[in-house]
Amino acid sequence: MIWQLDLFLLTLVAICALATVSVRGLLSATITFAAYSFLMCLVWAEMGAVDVAFTEAVVGAGVSTIFFIAALFRSTTRSPLLIRGIDDPHHFKDQGWKVLPLILSVVTGVLLFYGMSDFPAWGDPNSIPATRVAAHYVENALRETHVPNLVTAVLGDYRGYDTMFELVVIYCAGISVVSILKQENL
């Protein structure tokens, strides 16, 4: 892990995240969100989680961007902020309600950062998860499954139920999109 590269990528990630939230047009927000996904993909590839990076590049930056654009194409690209009008006098009147979510998210963020201090250091070989189950996979997966890619061995064999229900979740997502939008009989 090269900390200079990490710092650079994470700065860009933060900029893209802020741009996604603050940009006015929803089409621009979608594109900046795709850029955010690609940068996250780079961060993961740089951390050595190549499979996760691959999934992020294919799903997060690729297909989900197309889905967002397809959904926008059938609705409107104007965010509610723009429709109500930033110069609308009521817009600033109910600003007071936005303080509560701000406080809530800041408190949650501080708590998360506090909890993060209990994590083992990145790549620490003596941490508890690395010494128990991960060590078993690294030592035995190739002998027990003949699959050199440990991630595939864990996903397909040791954690087969996880992957099965992931597929079921995707299937449910497809079914729910179809059942909400489809106009003919199924």
Partner 1 sequence: MRELQDEAKLRMPWQDVILQTSVRILIPFIQLFGLYVIVHGHYSPGGGFQGGVILGSAIILMALVFGLPASKHYISENTNKVLSVLGPLVYCGVGALCILCGGYFLEYSALNTIVPLGEIQWHSMGIFLVEVGVGIGVMSIMIRIYRVLSSAGTIDQGL
Binding site for partner 1 (CB under 8 A): 27, 50-51, 53-55, 58-59, 62-63, 66-67, 69-74, 76-77, 143-149, 151-153, 155-157, 160-161, 163-164, 166-168, 170-171, 173-174, 177-178, 181-184
State the minimum distance, in angstroms, from the CB of residue 177 to partner 1: 5
What is the Cα–Cα distance from 158 to 141, expressed in whole angstroms? Answer: 9
Cβ contacts of residue 122 below 8 Å, gap of 6+?
1, 47
Nearer to partner 1 among residue 107 and residue 167 (C-beta): 167
Nearer to partner 1 among residue 124 and residue 157 (C-beta): 157
Cβ distance 52 to 44 under 8 Å? yes
What is the Cα–Cα distance from 41 to 140, expressed in whole angstroms? Answer: 29
State the minimum distance, in angstroms, from the CB of residue 175 to partner 1: 9
Cβ contacts of residue 130 below 8 Å, gap of 6+?
120, 124
Nearer to partner 1 among residue 47 and residue 72 (C-beta): 72
State the minimum distance, in angstroms, from the CB of residue 63 to partner 1: 6
